[in-house]
Chains A and B, each alone.
Chain A
Amino acid sequence: ETGVTQTPRHLVMGMTNKKSLKCEQHLGHNAMYWYKQSAKKPLELMFVYSLEERVENNSVPSRFSPECPNSSHLFLHLHTLQPEDSALYLCASSQDLGTDYSNQPQHFGDGTRLSIL
């Protein structure tokens, strides 16, 4: 496999459920990201990991809990979500975080379409 793979592609869950989203990248990248994409809104950065260390939590509610066991895998654990959390959740990776004002391009997975009942 190549690129960035996300599972599941679709997820429907109740507000009291616990589920996890999985992301795996086969690009040898060192940085990984979680984004939320809602209709008519820009992509919202949620978390950033560099070499398995979380370097950014963009004011995300604690009902979203990320985990990065190694540089190839990233998880997003979900617990007690709200209806407004229904969205497309995208994982991305880049070679590294870049330098001041200069980024490496980010490569995205196909996303998980999450629906909260």
Chain B
Amino acid sequence: KAGVTQTPRYLIKTRGQQVTLSCSPISGHRSVSWYQQTPGQGLQFLFEYFSETQRNKGNFPGRFSGRQFSNSRSEMNVSTLELGDSALYLCASGEGVRERAGELFFGEGSRLTVL
């Protein structure tokens, strides 16, 4: 069974640009969560999608957005990049049982560097 696939794995952007990251969850999983990880702030929750609907949202500015497609694949977008957006972005896949987050399975991450 294939795991969680994230693309691209590495990317470099400049301030002001935008970026789109992609995540394919484990087959059969309907929940996709996104996290930002930095040395200073640690692991921070961005948002969760379940059956194409945003179910939970973390405390990030509107420059961070996401969506989920009918095949459960998800994308997140960051517009008007800032230096502080440099981070490892992790996607996690889960069954999304009602009222429970459930065990999450993480992809390898997309490492974004903003210059």
Do A and B pair up? The answer is no
Q: Interface residues, chain A, CB within 8 Å of chain B?
A: none
Q: Interface residues, chain B, CB within 8 Å of chain A?
A: none
